[in-house]
Amino acid sequence: MMTLTEKWKMEGLQQGLQQGIIEGLKESILYTIELKFGSIPNDFKEKLNNISDANRLKEIQKKVVFANNLDEIVVE
């Protein structure tokens, strides 16, 4: 059985891993956009940075891969 301290440590690690996944997805999205389309508007970056749902970021990442231009990628 876990002690309360061990449980807190595990929860902290899980939160840290989730945050790392989210930040990694954001970096990947921005990197892919730069490769495909060049510069990225600041408002796009700001909207992307406000997203904290990994599944939503994965949807955006898929859109980036298949988009023909930046206007096809909607970030809200």
- The full set of domain ranges for the chain reads 4-72
Q: How far apart are CA 27 and CA 39, in angstroms?
A: 14
Please, which pLDDT band fits residue 50 given cuts at 50, 70 and 90?
Answer: very high
DSSP of 9-56: HHHHHHHHHHHHHHHHHHHHHHHHHHHHHS---HHHHHHHHT---HHH
pLDDT at residue number 31: 97
- Supply the pTM of this predicted model: 0.86
**Higher pLDDT among residues 9 and 42, named by residue:** 42
When pLDDT is averaged across residues 25-44 and rounded to a whole number, the result is 95
pLDDT of residue 75: 85
